[in-house]
Chain A
């Protein structure tokens, strides 16, 4: 398969248009299954009662917030290294969804923290580094739109994305490096300390988050392609009667 064929905005626009609805549909199905298992099948937690159910949205959102930043930085690196237009557009398309998941992780963490820790917010290492991640996303978006020439914005934002990658291991290892309010990981490649239904719900919700993030990114990159390629013949022809 010639992957460079899909690096053309015109080709990728059509491919993204065909794929995005399927990813949104898969996200809805995974979310419905995850919520069912999480709220109906999973038992009440012995220590936290019902409030632990926030975990089914909090943990997938936190995972996605870090993973999407990494993806955004990889696209930024590709755009800087090979000067590929589509990579820069993809980095821009990933950023708002990454910021959304970071916001959800922080918000749900606050509403989980209040009944369990007694406070909505503490300057705990994990929470603070996650907040820095949100500011990095905002910085990326602001920097990308700060230039009249979008290609200059792409390069500046890609550089910021690459520098910000240093924050990802800080978030991940913060619970080991510092004495924080956060507990250590309940799930690892070696096993889990969770009830099986709790784990199933969390994984289903994570799959929903993945599918949603891909669907939203593909949908957004289509709009970015239209904005950037507005003067090309294929976009004119598409607007005249295409999908």
Chain B
């Protein structure tokens, strides 16, 4: 029985999961910075 599929699926899924987390981290930081920028703009308008 060829086991390459099971090894590839294990490491492949782990790599994808880590990649998704890294992208999520970047998105979250960008969103937080955007919110700060919006708050600053609202303050200057007031």
Which residues from chain A sit less than 8 Å from chain B, CB to CB? 49-51, 53-54, 57-58, 61, 96-97, 100, 103-104, 107-108, 111-112, 114-115, 212, 216, 219-220, 222-223, 226-227, 230-231, 235-236, 239-240
Chain B residue contacts of A235, Cβ below 8 A: 36
In whole angstroms, how far apart are the Cα atoms of A227 and B27 in the complex?
13
Of A97, A107, A227, the contact of B10 (CB 8 Å cutoff)? A107
In whole angstroms, how far apart are the Cα atoms of A111 and B17 in the complex?
15
Given contacts A97-B21, A103-B17, A231-B39, contact A112 B10 (CB under 8 A): yes
Q: Is the CB of B29 within 8 A of A104?
A: no
In whole angstroms, how far apart are the Cα atoms of A212 and B1 in the complex?
34
Q: Is the CB of A212 within 8 A of B3?
A: no
In whole angstroms, how far apart are the Cα atoms of A223 and B21 in the complex?
13
Chain A residue contacts of B25, Cβ below 8 A: 216, 219-220, 223
Q: Is the CB of A50 within 8 A of B17?
A: no
Smallest CB gap from A219: residue in B: B25
Q: Is the CB of A51 within 8 A of B7?
A: yes
Which residues from chain B sit less than 8 Å from chain A, CB to CB? 1, 3-4, 6-7, 9-11, 13-14, 17-18, 21-22, 24-25, 28-29, 31-33, 35-37, 39-40
Main secondary structure on B side of the interface with A: helix
Q: Is the CB of B28 within 8 A of A220?
A: yes
Of A111, A219, A239, the contact of B6 (CB 8 Å cutoff)? A111
Q: Is the CB of B36 within 8 A of A57?
A: no
Q: Is the CB of B37 within 8 A of A239?
A: yes
Chain B residue contacts of A51, Cβ below 8 A: 3, 6-7
Q: Is the CB of B35 within 8 A of A230?
A: yes
Q: Is the CB of A227 within 8 A of B21?
A: no
Of B11, B18, B33, the contact of A239 (CB 8 Å cutoff)? B33
Given A104-B13, A239-B36, output 4 extra A-B contacts at Cβ < 8 Å. A107-B14, A226-B33, A227-B32, A230-B36
In whole angstroms, how far apart are the Cα atoms of A114 and B40 in the complex?
55
In whole angstroms, how far apart are the Cα atoms of A223 and B18 in the complex?
18
